[in-house]
Structure 1
Amino acid sequence: MKKLLLITVAAVAILFAVVVMTHINNVPKLDEEVNATWAQVQNQYKRRADLVPNLVATVKGYASHEKEVLTDVVEARAKVGQTQISPEMLSSPDAMKQFEANQNALGSALSRLLLVVERYPDLKADKNFQALQSQLEGTENRIAVARRDYIAAVQKYNVELRTVPGRWVAALFYPDAKQKESFSASPAEQEAPKVFF
């Protein structure tokens, strides 16, 4: 009886060790994946921020009296440049909300700028403006893809931390591992855009 109990305990211990050892690297690998996808999100936001001055300068030449909209875009871009989130801050809901709010403000300002453009047919026909607008549209698509990839990476990481055996591995070997914050759409982003003809 004692021998059977000892064999059972040894078998359970070996099984536990095998399960833990096969999952021991998942937490750091998934953490690095989250950090890499976050870097790509920031890369795309930086690309957009770098394009904005060129877009504003092009529009200024045609729409100099639309100063308020242009000022809003410049100010929103400046706020975006001031808010950077390091990989360590990805676990902070407040930091993520501030970052998202600044990015949303820039997106909103750019939308208003593009509405101003509708009033200036010469600007819409300008090759420089068309190229910048195309680059900006491509950047917005890249941002959406980068955010999607980041959300998927965060989901995999958070699932690993919340399910067995990843939960056990994290508790034993990575006690400082915390769930990461994902993106969430603001109420304004969830509304359908209004189109006027």
Structure 2
Amino acid sequence: MTLYLASTSPRRRELLAQTDIKFSTLDVAVDESLRGKELPTAYVERLAKEKAEAGFKSVQDDEGAIVLAADTIVVLEEDILGKPSDQSQAGQMLRALSGRSHTVMTAFAIKTKEQIRVQRVNTTVFFRSITSKEIDWYWHTGEQQDKAGGYGIQSKGGVFVSAISGSYSAVVGLPLAEVVTALQSLGVFPEPA
């Protein structure tokens, strides 16, 4: 069996590497546009599934291929907060999240020759109140550009987080406990380095 991570995200790579499960990475691209009135839960699960399928297609000649893919979104009420396109949008996102809770949804999909399994993990994240000066400071750190919801909990954006209820690793981008359990059910286990 060969495990492939269908993601170029350095955060997902680092998280999966913590498990001591050997894997290779794949660069896949899928259309991440929302479809009509697609609910956040359906959207994040669909993207994870499509990424796993695209990754599997690229390695389908490998009889023992197992492809893992994931997608993470930030949801405030029913609105999906994507990656900010500019400073103004980044500021709007942080002002909307300030002093409130929101949900981070990470779905992962595991594709083998015989099956595909999709699972979603929801985590509630609580933000303290954020000042305008902090919003400006955070923009200038450069962290926001590639982060759903306009922040990264694992780095400087973590200063805004007062509490979480759920999986920390899912907020970063890959729910490790659930992923390892799912991989073990397929016979994939950590190996000493």
Between the two structures, name the one with larger relative contact order (CA 8 Å, sep ≥ 6): 1
Point out the structure with max Rg over C-alpha: 1
Give the TM-score taking structure 2 as reference length: 0.24
Q: Which has the higher strand share?
A: 2
Give the TM-score taking structure 1 as reference length: 0.23
